[in-house]
């Protein structure tokens, strides 16, 4: 499964990309607002740091305006993926983007029926928001499973990008459910490395090694 970072913090991204485990980046208007920076500049910097897909979201709600904004965003770099909302207008824009060869990430998906429409429109990625579904008493992973079954039934090329992920357990469950990608906050990415038994085991190994008085170098 591909791992994307959901961030506009260039410094954090640069640090975590050095692991070689970051496959792409997603952004949204809320993250851009928190950064206090110019959106186009931020996206350009991020695209210079990672070779994988970088999702940049349109702000318009009408299809023609989404197309204009999306074309401008796609012109920043070849790895920009235009992010559009899962609305009627958004899917109309998605279909046109597909004809133009512009990659898209259809976001704010909360049902399998919505995901089916996005795939029919030619979306490159679909972003089901599993955490928000959990917040409202549903099981977000059930949605991933349903989308996976539908896409496999009809050989849709659209990739499932699990979004609104809150924990390493969410990442694991999304992988088991068949998500192609998962976008996660930097803090959750760092938590993936951790387990208390790993820490204890390493501490014991280092203590035993120190007792030998040896040095590998």
Which top CATH class is 2-212? alpha beta
pLDDT tens-place string over residues 101-125: 999 999 999 999 999 999 999 999 9
The residue-averaged pLDDT of 175-180 equals 97
pLDDT tens-place string over residues 6-49: 999 999 999 999 999 999 999 999 999 999 999 999 999 999 99
pLDDT for 134: 87
Just list the catalytic residues.
83
Per-residue 3-state assignment (H helix, E strand, C coil) for the chain: CEEEEECCCHHHHHHHHCCCCCCEEECCHHHHHHHCCCHHHHHHHHHHHCCCCEEEECCCCCHHHHHHHHHHHHCCCCCEEEEEECCHHHHHHHHHHHHHCCCEEEEEECCHHHHHHHHHHCCCEEEEEHHHHHHCCCCHHHHHHHHHHHHHHHCCCCEEEEECCCCHHHHHHHHHHCCCEEEECHHHHHHCCCCHHHHHHHHHHHHHHHHHCCCCC
pLDDT for 142: 96
Q: What is the pTM for the complete model shown? A: 0.95
pLDDT tens-place string over residues 132-174: 998 898 999 999 999 999 999 999 999 999 999 999 999 999 9
């Amino acid at each position: 499964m591909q791992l994307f970072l959901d961030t506009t913090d260039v410094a954090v991204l640069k640090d975590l990309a050095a692991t070689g485990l970051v496959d792409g980046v997603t952004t949204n208007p809320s993250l851009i607002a928190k950064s206090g920076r110019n959106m186009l500049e931020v996206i350009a910097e991020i695209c210079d740091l990672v070779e994988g897909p970088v999702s940049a979201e349109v702000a318009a709600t009408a299809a023609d305006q989404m197309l204009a904004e999306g074309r401008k965003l796609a012109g920043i770099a070849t790895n920009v993926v235009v992010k559009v909302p899962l609305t009627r207008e958004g899917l109309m824009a998605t279909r046109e983007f597909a004809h133009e060869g512009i990659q898209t990430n259809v976001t704010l998906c909360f049902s399998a029926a919505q995901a089916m429409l996005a795939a029919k429109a030619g979306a490159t990625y679909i972003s089901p928001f599993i955490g928000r579904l959990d917040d409202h008493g549903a099981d977000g992973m059930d949605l991933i499973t349903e989308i996976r079954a539908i896409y496999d039934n009809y050989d849709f090329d659209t990739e499932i990008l699990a979004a609104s992920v809150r924990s390493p357990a969410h990442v694991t469950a999304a992988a088991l459910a068949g998500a192609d990608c998962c976008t996660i906050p930097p803090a959750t990415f760092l938590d993936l490395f951790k387990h208390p038994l790993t820490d204890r085991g390493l501490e014991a190994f280092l203590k035993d090694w120190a007792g030998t008085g040896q040095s590998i170098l």
